Amino acid sequence: MYCVETRELSHGFAGHPAVLNSINMQVPTGSIYGFLGPNGAGKTTTLRLLLGLISKQQGEIMLFNKTLKGNRIEILKQTGTMIESPSLYGHLTATENLLLYQKLFQCQRSRIKEVLDTVGLSNTGNKKAGEFSLGMKQRLSLAVALLHNPSLLILDEPTNGLDPNGIIEIRDLLKKLNETLAVSIIISSHLLSEIEKLVTHVGIISKGSMVFQGTLESLVNKQQQNASLVVDTSNLQLSAELARQFVPAATTGNGKLIMPIPAKETIAAINHAFVKAGIDVYEMSTNKKDLESIFMELIK
């Protein structure tokens, strides 16, 4: 069951190459979906299309199993948003900013205090939003997104401008919302490291195309598949021949023996064979690619 689904979603701006090419996004209900990609990959355009901020050109957009067209208001009643930089009225206080959205969302007035407490802005008093630091503005924008108790949050780079403590706090808050209230969250970022501790699912977009989509586990498995064992010996040719008896895929490169990581018993047997053949083993190490480098490879 998906709370957000797009089918063959494509979009382009007049006179420019297509920004999005046949995006098939599937956000499972109750998940935290990390939407990743470098700057200019099409993340914000996709999110703006989901919210109807840009007219759809091709494809289909479904939120809560309903098409955006004809169900916009009903869908937005269940959706909290924060797109790109903070959208706040600089001449109004935090409470006044929330008060006007409380009118638009038609939710309880008591929610204003609750969300201000949640994002740690309850003591800003008469200070105007225009005088806030970027981090405070991000928190207030998040408060706006949370105001009407949405069941889906669409957050475009919400930790921009936050200090490390602020990032951890927001991450914990989003986790809590997801775990306790089952809020589905789409969170975009250009850094995998920033959200890998938070997300359950990942969609990676590059140059307007979705290059990976799945659970975080499946991305981790991809990482395991790409890992290799590297062995530096005194006799490369002989050691390669011996190693192939255990791991047929063993190859050589950069003066070293390289093979997919075998079971630990096999590693011991290979090492034993080398010693028996009088080959000195200088180094035996695994060359694991971290998630970040897999991400970088995907978006190349």
With CB under 8 A as the contact rule, which of the stretches 26-34, 102-110, 202-210, 291-299 interacts with another protein? 102-110
Q: How far from chain centre, in Å, is Cα 280?
A: 45
Among 1, 15, 55, 255, binds another protein (CB under 8 A): 55
Chain residues 216-245 in contact with another protein, contact rule CB under 8 A: none
What DSSP state is assigned to residue 31? -
| CB 294, min distance to another protein, A | 32
DSSP letter string over 213-268? EEEHHHHHHHHHHT-EEEEEES-HHHHHHHHHHH-TT-EEETTEEEEE---HHHHH
Q: Residue 43 has what DSSP assignment?
A: H
**CA atoms lying within 13 Å on the CB side of residue 112:** 17
Q: Confirm or reject binding of residue 12 to another protein (CB under 8 A).
A: no
- Number of residues forming the site for another protein (CB under 8 A): 32
Question: Considering the rule CB under 8 A, would residue 76 count as an interface residue with another protein?
Answer: yes
Nearer to another protein, 82 or 192 (CB): 82
Residues 138-197 that bind another protein (CB under 8 A): 141, 144
CA atoms within 13 A of residue 104's CA, in its CB half-sphere: 14
Are the beta carbons of 157 and 190 closer than 8 angstroms?
yes
Binding region for another protein (CB under 8 A) out of 84-92, 160-168, 229-237, 254-262: 84-92
Q: Angle 7-10-14 (CA atoms, 0-180°, nearest 5)? A: 160
Asked if 92 is part of the footprint of another protein (rule: CB under 8 A), the reply reads yes
- List contacts with another protein (CB under 8 A): 48, 51-55, 73-74, 76-77, 79, 81, 83-92, 96, 99-101, 103-106, 141, 144
